[in-house]
């Protein structure tokens, strides 16, 4: 294997994490925040990406040091009750994220091909079609087809957003000031809320758990693979930060009004007025790459998380049984494949709600997950007896994760109040 091929293999799971975590929420939040607050909040994207790196690195650290997924480790050390507590939350989250993914694909395709007189009809029919196509690709093609498809979507998403932002470039000095000097315009108004949303929305929520299953698919099973994971995640979250920063820069040049299924149409129309038809289509193609890659990532990854949780909650297993290869979750298990079908079909009912409502419910349910995840990581990765003295968190990692915990607790409280 040449160096270039090895490099691509190293960054594979990180690209999957980036492509899955970046979707309609990042697209809408980034463009809205940029439209309202300008490039002054670019620093918030960097902070959000770093927070997600800290958390996902902790997931990889635990798994490679102990040979168990984070959910398995949680069950071993905190008891089966933890799995039973997480299970109903996961079911609820699956429904809302499934609806959100279908809605996002439907809205984007309607903006590209407005063949329906009613935008809501376009969202519904295109959303259903996107879900079924994604299901066939992941169910029939397995991990190899999924991985290749995701890389294509991620590449389209990344290049189109960067090129569009480059065409609307506000100036290098302005961009650097927004990255290096933290400020929040309209702090007493909506500025603080949008900044929190921008930080918290970067890079996904529950789907970060998928990284552990993807590195297992790539054959990373031992602690010696942790340096590769750190490189992998750094590249993935740098790509995420660049995409979200590009959306802020794009939004900085637009006046965004409206909501729901008309938002993306208006955004693309404004870009068409500024950049011409080519600029409009460049943005729309990149948007579809972002939302469809998220759909594929969710369809492939959430069933892993469900199958792992279901097995841990319903089977009486000791630590040795959990660690055995025969009990490891894989994509050939019936429970995995059944849940994949269910998540691609049942949330279709949610397409009859508004696009904005679907995205809000998905975002709200995801927000409550991160404080709990940060607590679990602090408990497991700070105990040398559990993870090993060599791999337990040092002071810097503990401080970083405590900051993540406090931020998401605050963000959740702010969300409840608003």
Please report, rounded to a whole number, the percentage of residues in the chain having pLDDT higher than 70: 88
Closest Cα to residue 143, out of 341, 344, 332? 332
Q: What is the pLDDT of residues 291-329, one digit of tens each?
A: 899 999 999 999 999 999 998 888 877 667 776 655 578
Please compute the mean of the pLDDT values over residues 2-26 and round it to a whole number: 73
Look up residue 187 and give its DSSP letter: I
CB-based contact 98:343 (threshold 8 Å) = yes
> CA Rg, the chain, in Å?
21
Task: Quickly state the pLDDT bin for 245 (edges 50, 70, 90).
Answer: very high
What integer is the mean pLDDT of 392-418?
A: 82
What mean pLDDT value characterizes the chain?
Answer: 85
CATH topology of domain 3-417: Amino acid/polyamine transporter I (1.20.1740)
Check residue 226 and give its pLDDT.
92
298's tokens: 């969710």
The answer to whether the beta carbons of residues 322 and 66 sit under 8 Å apart is no
Question: What's the whole-number mean pLDDT along residues 351-364?
Answer: 66
Contact 64, 221 (CB under 8 A): yes
Residue 139 has pLDDT above 90, yes or no: yes
Locate 156 and state its tokens.
Answer: 């389209």
CB 239 within 8 A of CB 19: no
Flag whether pLDDT at 393 surpasses 90. yes
Encoding tokens for residue 217?
A: 């698919």
What are the extents of the domains in the chain?
Answer: 3-417
The predicted structure's pLDDT at residue 253? 81
Least confident stretch, 133-142, 260-269, 294-303: 260-269
CA atoms within 13 Å, Cβ hemisphere of 389? 0
- Summarize the confidence of residues 231-258 as an average pLDDT: 85
Question: In this structure, what DSSP letter does residue 191 have?
Answer: I
**Residue range 394-404: average pLDDT?**
92
Cα separation, 400 vs 352, whole angstroms: 41
Q: What is the pLDDT averaged over residues 333-360?
A: 84
The pLDDT, as a whole number, for residue 417 is 45
pLDDT in tens, 75-122: 989 888 999 999 999 998 899 889 988 988 998 898 889 898 888 898
Q: 355, 107 in Cβ contact below 8 A?
A: yes
Is pLDDT of 50 > 70? yes
Task: Give the tokens for residue 173.
Answer: 């000095």
DSSP, res 402? H
Contacts for 398 with CB less than 8 Å, ≥ 6 apart: 378, 382
pLDDT tens column, 178-207: 999 999 887 777 788 778 878 877 777 888
């Amino acid at each position: 294997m040449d160096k270039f091929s090895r490099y691509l293999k190293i960054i594979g799971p990180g690209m999957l994490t980036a492509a899955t975590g970046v979707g309609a929420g990042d697209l809408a939040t980034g463009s809205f925040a940029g439209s309202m607050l300008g490039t002054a909040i670019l620093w918030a994207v960097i902070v959000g990406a770093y927070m997600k790196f800290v958390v996902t690195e902790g997931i990889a650290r635990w798994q490679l040091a102990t040979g168990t997924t984070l959910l398995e480790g949680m069950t071993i050390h905190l008891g089966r009750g933890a799995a039973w507590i997480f299970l109903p939350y996961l079911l609820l989250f699956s429904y809302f994220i499934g609806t959100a993914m279908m809605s996002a694909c439907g809205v984007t395709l309607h903006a590209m091909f407005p063949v329906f007189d009613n935008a809501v009809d376009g969202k519904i029919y295109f959303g259903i079609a996107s879900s079924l196509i994604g299901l066939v690709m992941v169910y029939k093609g397995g991990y190899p087809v999924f991985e290749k498809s995701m890389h294509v979507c991620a590449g389209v998403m990344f290049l189109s957003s960067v090129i569009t932002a480059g065409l609307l470039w506000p100036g290098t000095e302005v961009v650097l000031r927004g990255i290096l000097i933290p400020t929040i315009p309209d702090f007493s108004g909506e500025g603080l809320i949008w900044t929190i949303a921008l930080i918290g929305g970067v890079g996904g929520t529950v789907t970060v758990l998928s990284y552990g299953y993807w590195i297992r698919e790539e054959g990373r099973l031992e602690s010696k693979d942790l340096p590769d994971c750190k490189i992998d995640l750094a590249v993935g979250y740098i790509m995420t930060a660049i995409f979200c920063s590009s959306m802020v820069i794009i939004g900085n040049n637009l006046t965004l009004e409206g909501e729901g299924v008309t938002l993306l149409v208006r955004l693309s129309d404004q870009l068409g007025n500024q950049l011409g038809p080519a600029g409009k289509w460049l943005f729309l193609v990149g948007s579809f790459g972002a939302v469809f890659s998220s759909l594929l990532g969710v369809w492939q990854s959430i069933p892993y998380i469900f199958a792992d949780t279901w097995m841990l909650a319903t089977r009486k297993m000791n630590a040795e049984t959990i660690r055995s290869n025969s009990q490891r979750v894989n994509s050939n298990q019936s429970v995995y494949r059944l849940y994949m079908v269910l998540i691609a079909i049942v949330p279709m009912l949610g397409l009859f709600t508004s696009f904005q409502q679907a995205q809000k419910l998905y975002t709200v349910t995801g927000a409550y997950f991160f404080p709990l995840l940060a607590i679990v990581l602090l408990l497991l990765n700070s105990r040398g007896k559990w993870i090993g003295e060599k791999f337990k968190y040092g002071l810097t990692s503990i401080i970083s994760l405590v900051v993540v915990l406090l931020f998401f607790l605050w963000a959740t409280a702010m969300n409840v109040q608003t």
